[in-house]
Amino acid sequence: MDVDPRHYEQIGIKDNDIHNIVLSYLVHNCYRETLESFVDCTGMREPADYIEDMEKRKGIFCCVLEGNALKAIELTEQVASDLLENNKDLHFDLLSLHFVELVCAKKCTEALEFAQNKLMPFGKEQKLLEKLEDFLSLLAYEEPEKSPMFHLLGSEYQQHVADKLNRAILAHRNLPSYTAVERLIQQTIVVRQSLNQDHGKDEIPPFSLKDFLKG
């Protein structure tokens, strides 16, 4: 039986449902120690099948964030041999992180050679050609951190690639690539948009996660 979205606040939520949402988040982000503590506190059964997978994904995730993209590629090929071969955009992103490390270390000659050998073959696709040009432009600046493409040098881009790789590995293993929390937020936004269409924008304000958490 469908429930009118306007009555969602009246629906009770079971503790077990909340626990599963939290568990999904911890497994997705490879927080093993926190997961074990959470399982102990709630009396839930530990998802044993996911432990080995979490450890492997965590190792790959950490390599990306620590600036060792080539090692991350090597480990990814061990757990999902055809993933990067079939996902050129992700493969390029990982290789670009190594290029960035060379640029930041002022190893411009080595960076150029790496780009010619590893990155330029991706330039056959228009989307990747544009990304390639953005990265190569970093070599034109003595201080690339002051270039228009400075964001490619930051930790946010590194985090973006790490998250993208994590989701891709999960999907490759036929596991959810998004946490239950993310899917709930997406569903909330869709429901709110539907209510806006039915009742007008002035009656129901757009969903804001920031405002929701304050409430």
Taking each helix axis from N to C end, the angle separating 180-199 and 15-28, rounded to the nearest 10 degrees, works out to: 120
pLDDT at 72: 97
pLDDT at 186: 80
Q: What is the distance between the alpha carbons of residues 58 and 36, in angstroms, rounded to a whole number?
A: 15
pLDDT at 1: 44
> Alpha helices, DSSP H only, in 173-214?
180-199, 209-214
pLDDT at 185: 79
- CB 93 within 8 Å of CB 164: yes
Query: Whose CA is closest to 58, among 159, 162, 154, 158?
Result: 162
pLDDT at 205: 63
Note the pTM of the prediction, 2 decimals.
0.81
pLDDT at 64: 97
Q: What is the distance between the alpha carbons of residues 163 and 4, in angstroms, rounded to a whole number?
A: 35
Length of the chain: 215
pLDDT at 108: 94
pLDDT at 13: 74
Query: Whose CA is closest to 90, among 103, 77, 102?
Result: 77
Which residues of the chain fall below pLDDT 70? 1-12, 48-49, 195, 198-215
Digit-coded pLDDT (tens) for 45-55: 777 667 778 99
Question: How many DSSP H helices and E strands does the chain contain?
Answer: 11, 0
